């Protein structure tokens, strides 16, 4: 049974300029003890997805269709505010891009780490001990002393590790990590990924890892969900998607990554065109206007085609792959 199961999720925002269809028929699973990556560029709906899962959609947004099942029995789209609050932080924890924003600057790290355990029923001393153990696990040197220091006294890499420690304090079933390494330097990014991997195994939680960085996702995740303009265009295991991409957007996105190009090239590949205006979501395939394989049928909405076990692409041509690098 998956920890999180998103099925046919649609989210709409009502704005002054009409209704924005921000997520359209989004479906994917986060199985138990697995790390699932969500990749996509700006405007793909990553943040809306997280907010929908956490029940934190803006006031003008609503889930118009679909369900988000947590541990098979609770539909997060139907839970009340109080139940959601109980769930967040305890069973679903979150790490954000900016760790400084997640830590309260006027409380010491120790106070905050003790506070997050307010539901645990342990004594204060026990809570503090657990906090220092957790800090040791995220490799904060001199954990005991670190507890009485304040967030600003730590470097960016350390604050992110502290934020991770805090998120995992209550041993949640699901950790949602929203671009947690984006603000970090490459060497720290790698260290943070390795740390996340290690802790995930130790705690046995599932991770939903949001990133725009293909390399990080390839390295950290087991499954991957590719989003474009509010739709899941392709999903599968990391090997399936990265080695045998079936949606033209995935193909082009992989081509664009300069890291994929081992040979020096003065002219880098790009995806011409722009993300469509979601206020007037075009009929048919969402990627069609920018797609190099577009043909007549693309005026209709393509089905989710399963091309391998768990490998799904929303494209009419999903069963006729093109080799990576054939274009451009």
Partner 1 sequence: MSDVVVKVEDVEVAFSVGRIGRRSSILGVAGVSFEVRRGETFAIVGESGSGKTTLARAINRLRPVSRGAITFEGRRIESLDRQAMKPLRRRMSMMFQDPVGSLSPRMTVGDLVAEPYRIHGLERRNIQEETARLLSLVGLSQDFAHRYPHQLSGGQARRVGVARAIALDPVLVIADEPTAGLDVSVQGEVLNLLNDLRERLGLAMVIITHNLHVVRHVADRMAVMYLGRFVETGETEAIFDAPAHPYTAALLSANPEPDPDTARDRISLPAEVPSLLARPEGCEFHTRCPWVRDICKTTPPPCSSVEHRVLTCHFPLARGERPPERTG
Partner 2 sequence: MSEAISEPVIALGRGARSLRRLLREPLGAFGLFLVVAVIGAAVFADLLASADPSRISPRDRFMPPGAEHLLGTDQLGRDLFSRVLHGGRIALTVALGSTGVSLLIGIALGLISGYGPRWLDNVLILLFDAIKSFPTVMLALAFVTLFGPSLTAVVVVVIIINVPGYARIIRTQTIALKNAEFVTAAQSMGASTARILRVHVLPNVIGPILILASMDIPVVIAIEAGMSFLGLGVRPPTPSWGAILNDGFASIRESVWIVVAGGIPIILTTLGFTFLGETLRDVFDPRLKAR
Nearer to partner 1, 270 or 300 (CB): 270
Rounded least distance, CB 272 to partner 2, Å: 5
Select from 200, 107, 184 the least CA-distant residue to 152: 107
Dist CA 289 CA 109 (whole Å): 50
Residue 144 interacts, among partner 2, partner 1, none and using kind-specific CB cut-offs from 5 to 8 Å, with: none
Q: Which stretch binds partner 1 (CB under 8 A): 75-83, 96-104, 247-255, 309-317?
A: 247-255
Stretch of residues binding partner 1 (CB under 8 A), selected from 69-77, 85-93, 185-193, 308-316: 185-193
DSSP letters for 61-115: EEEEEEEEEETTTEETTT--HHHHHHHBTTTEEEE-S-HHHHS-TTS-HHHHHHH
Q: Which does 75 bind (CB under 5 to 8 A by kind): partner 1, partner 2, none?
A: none
CB of 193 to partner 1, least distance (A): 7
Options 14, 15, 60, 155; binder of partner 1; rule CB under 8 A: 155
Cβ distance to partner 2 smaller for residue 280 or 297: 280
Q: Out of partner 1, partner 2, none, which partner does residue 277 contact, by CB within 5 to 8 A per kind?
A: partner 2
Q: Decide whether 8 or 273 has the Cβ nearer to partner 2.
A: 273
Tell me, rounded to whole angstroms, the distance of Cα 202 from its chain centroid. 20
Binder among 133, 274, 277, 319 for partner 1 (CB under 8 A): 274
Among 103, 214, 229, 313, binds partner 1 (CB under 8 A): 214
Query: Which of 33, 65, 136, 212 is the binder for partner 1 (CB under 8 A)?
Result: 212
Q: How far is the CB of 198 from partner 1 (least distance, A)?
A: 13
- Interface residues toward partner 2, by CB under 8 A: 16-17, 272-274, 277
- 18-30 sheet: strands from edge to edge: 18-30, 4-15, 61-70, 74-75
Within 68-107, the residues that bind partner 1 by CB under 8 A are: none
Helix 156-168 and helix 186-203, axial crossing angle in degrees, nearest 10 = 10
What does DSSP assign to residue 149? S
The answer to whether 109 contacts partner 1 (rule: CB under 8 A) is no
Task: Give the Cα separation of 172 and 204 in Å (integer).
Answer: 9
| CA distances from residue 320 to 245, 260, 293, 305, 316 in whole angstroms, order as listed | 11, 23, 11, 11, 9
Please, which residues bridge with residue 35 across strands?
207
Residue pair 314/231 in contact by the 8 Å Cβ criterion: yes
Residue from the set 216, 225, 278, 298 that interacts with partner 1 by CB under 8 A: 216
Contact (CB, 8 A) for 35 and 221: yes
Pick one of partner 2, partner 1, none as the site partner of residue 187 (Cβ within 5 to 8 A by kind): partner 1
Residue 218: contacted member of partner 1, partner 2, none (CB under 5 to 8 Å, by partner type): partner 1
Q: Please give the backbone phi and psi of residue 300, each rounded to the nearest 5 degrees, phi first.
A: -100, 160
- For residues 1 to 40, the per-residue mask of contacts with partner 1, x marking binding by CB under 8 A and - elsewhere, is ----------------------------------------
Task: Return the H-helix or E-strand segment holding 218.
Answer: helix 214-220
In the complex, minimum distance from the CB of residue 219 to partner 1, in angstroms, rounded to a whole number: 5
């Amino acid at each position: 049974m998956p920890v999180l199961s998103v099925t046919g999720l649609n989210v709409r925002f009502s704005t002054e300029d009409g209704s924005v269809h921000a997520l359209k028929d989004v479906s994917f699973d986060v199985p138990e003890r697995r790390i699932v990556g969500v990749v996509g560029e700006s405007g793909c709906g990553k943040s809306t997805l997280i907010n929908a899962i956490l029940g934190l959609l803006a006031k003008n947004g609503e889930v118009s269709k679909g369900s988000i099942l947590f541990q098979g029995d609770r539909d997060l789209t139907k839970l009340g505010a109080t139940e959601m609050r109980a769930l967040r932080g305890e069973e679903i924890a979150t790490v954000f891009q900016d760790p400084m924003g997640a830590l309260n600057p006027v409380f010491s790290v120790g106070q905050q780490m003790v506070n997050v355990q307010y539901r645990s029923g342990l004594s204060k001393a026990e809570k503090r001990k657990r906090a220092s153990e957790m800090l040791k696990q995220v490799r904060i040197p001199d954990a005991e002393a670190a507890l009485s220091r304040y967030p600003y006294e730590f470097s960016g890499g350390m604050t992110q590790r502290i934020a991770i420690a805090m998120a995992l304090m209550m041993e949640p079933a699901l950790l949602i990590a929203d671009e947690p390494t984006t603000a970090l330097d490459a060497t720290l990014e790698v260290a943070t990924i390795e740390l996340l991997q290690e802790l995930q195994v130790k705690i046995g939680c599932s991770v939903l890892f949001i990133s725009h960085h293909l390399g990080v996702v390839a390295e950290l995740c087991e499954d991957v969900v590719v989003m474009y303009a509010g739709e899941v265009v392709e999903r599968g295991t990391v090997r399936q998607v990265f080695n045998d991409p079936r949606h033209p957007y995935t193909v082009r996105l992989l081509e664009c990554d300069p890291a994929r190009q081992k040979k020096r090239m003065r002219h880098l590949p790009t995806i011409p065109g722009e993300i469509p205006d979601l206020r007037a979501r075009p009929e048919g395939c969402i990627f069609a206007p920018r797609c190099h394989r577009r043909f007549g049928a693309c005026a209709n909405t393509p089905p989710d085609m399963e091309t391998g076990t768990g490998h799904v692409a929303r494209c009419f041509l999903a069963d006729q792959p093109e080799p990576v690098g054939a274009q451009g």
